[in-house]
Amino acid sequence: MYKGGKIFASLIIFAALFTIPFFYNMGKVNAGPDVALNTAAIQQLPASEQQCVESPEFMRANHMQLLNQWREEAVRNGQTVYVNSQGKEFEISLQDTCLKCHATESASKPAVLNNPVSTTAGVSNPALNESPEFCASCHDYSAVKPLCWSCHFEPKEATK
Amino acid sequence: MKVLFSFLAVILLILVATMGAFITNLHYVFGIIIPYLAFAMFVGGFIYRVVKWGRSPVPFRIPTTIGQQKSLPWIKQNKIENPTSAFGVIVRMAMEVLFFRSLFRNTKTELREGQNGPELSYGSAKWLWLGSLFFHWSFLIIIIRHLRFFLEPIPFAVQILESVDGMLQIGLPAIYLTDVFILVAVTYLFLRRIIVPQVKYISLPADFFPLFMIMSIAISGVLMRYFYKVDLVAVKQLAIGLATFQPVLPTGIGPMFFIHIFLVSILFAYFPMSKLMHMGGIFMSPTRNMISNNRMVRHINPWNHEVEVHTYEQYEDEYREKMKKAGIPVEKE
């Protein structure tokens, strides 16, 4: 074979490039994100209130569009009530509606305990924390960076 | 007809994929078995093709050059377009592979009405170069971006690339620039083949089929991201399962995913037997990857037979006495 050495070296590089995922993940456990859908905050709610704003399937696929719509409604149109597909009314608020249930308990994640953003009740407020577990678990897993925190952040002075 | 044939072939594949997507029992085949087979065919076939090419003889030194050859010391050599060093060749190949240097020099030939009848004129034609550049780079970035499904944790470089790709932040989920570019570019590459008569004449089904395949893959990907959404977390679990050889099939992924992955698998499996092998072939093009030292170094055909030579010295040794007798002058007494 003419220039066999170079060709084989190149083929090894080619094979290595295309098998990166096999080596990168070698020996790792295929653990998806741990989404806490049954937090204490949710369990305390009456059964009729335990359903999210829309169905879980809808939320999984369209939560970003819903949040976007909520932002338009609340910030630009001054509309603060959302009527869902079942005709039920919700207050349009990330902090007061979404995070009422979806704030995660910091006890399960010691790093959050030291975070000044966590309230005394031991509940971290995802809106004030760059990495709340509920949002971050899936968003980190699929490398999608939500833009929520570019507005909903804790002012630097407040943490002092 | 050639267009129609390729188009129908792709439509048929999409129908097969749709069937696989909506029959839950087939999900294991479409989501796990076919991707594995396609990957093995791609890597195996690619290596097979390249080794096969590598075994074919390269008899002559045939670099094509567009610059001044190395010559007398006061004549400036073009060290990249007419390289006499390995470094020059590497730069030249990089220009070719990354920026399609030779396509950039593409010209268009036309017969124009001149004063004394028709005149032949040449002009630069950059559209094909631009379309190809956008197409190939978008494709590369899209493939690298997809690593976010196959790697956990996701490397920082992949995340950076993704945020640059979605930097316009139009809509939610944000529109990727490369999605737009690849669709525009592949449409251009297709239209070029059916509109320009000369290009249409030389186009074969094997030219249209990959175009339609890539188009349908891009469209199914766009549909999956923006319109018929799939459960991303489940998709990633499936992908990581494939990469760790512990395949899992999460439920409720969504049919669009199976259509997309089936079309991608078909393209990967088809890759080594198609013109798409120019991905490997470009590195092996003898007119580009050779040092232009045709006259500086003596090149001997590597598989030449041993030729028996009989030099004049040997001849004279053999016939010296007879030559002397005949009065023929000899060099050595």
Using the Cβ of B169 and the Cβ atoms of chain A, whether some distance falls under 8 Å is answered with: yes
The answer to whether the beta carbons of residues A28 and B244 sit under 8 Å apart is: yes
**Does position B328 have pLDDT exceeding 70, yes or no?**
yes
Q: Is there a contact between B70 and B77 (Cβ–Cβ < 8 Å)?
A: yes
Which of the four pLDDT bands, split at 50, 70 and 90, describes residue B272? very high
Q: Assess B283–A contact: CB distance below 8 Å, yes or no.
A: yes
CATH topology of domain B2-326: Fumarate Reductase Cytochrome B subunit (1.20.950)
- Contact (CB, 8 A) for A10 and B283: yes
Weakest mean pLDDT among A152-156, B115-119, B136-140, B190-194: A152-156
Asked if the C-beta of A145 comes within 8 angstroms of chain B's C-beta atoms, the answer is yes
User: What b/e readout covers B206-219, taking b as 16+ CB neighbours within 10 angstroms?
Assistant: ebbbbbbbbbbbbb
Whether residues B150 and A18 touch (CB distance < 8 A) is answered with no
Of B158, B244, B283, the CB nearest to A10: B283
With an 8 Å Cβ cutoff, are B148 and A68 in contact?
no
Q: Does A110 touch chain B (CB under 8 A)?
A: no
pLDDT-derived band at A127, boundaries 50, 70, 90: very low
Give the whole-angstrom CA distance, residue B12 versus residue B209.
12
Chain B positions touching A144 (Cβ under 8 A) are: 173, 232
Chain centroid to CA A143: 10
Determine the Cα–Cα distance for residues B128 and B199; give it in Å rounded to an integer.
Answer: 12
Q: Please indicate if any CB of chain A lies within 8 Å of the CB of B291.
A: no
Q: Which of A147, A82, A91 is nearest to B171 (CA)?
A: A147
Boundaries of every domain in chain B: 2-326
Q: What integer pLDDT is reported at residue B174 of this predicted model?
A: 87
Question: What mean pLDDT comes out for the span A139-150?
Answer: 82
| B43 interaction partners in chain A (CB closer than 8 Å) | 15, 18-19
Give residue B117's Cα distance to chain centre: 42
Q: Is A65 on the interface with B (CB under 8 A)?
A: yes
Do the Cβ atoms of A7 and B50 come within 8 Å? yes
Q: What's the mean pLDDT in B108-134?
A: 89
The predicted-structure confidence for B29-63, as pLDDT tens digits, reads as follows 999 999 999 999 999 999 999 999 998 887 788 89
Q: Which is nearest to A26 in space by CA: B33, B147, B35, B245? A: B245
Which pLDDT belongs to residue A119? 41
Residue A78 CB neighbour total at 10 angstroms: 7
Chain B CA closest to residue A18: B43
Per-residue pLDDT reduced to its tens digit, A35-45: 767 777 777 77
The predicted-structure confidence for B86-103, as pLDDT tens digits, reads as follows 999 999 999 999 999 999
Residues 6 or more apart whose CB falls under 8 angstroms from that of A88 comprise none
ipTM given for this complex: 0.82
Residue A112 has pLDDT above 90, yes or no: no
For residues B147 and B155, is the Cβ–Cβ distance under 8 A? yes
Q: Do A14 and B46 touch (CB under 8 A)?
A: yes
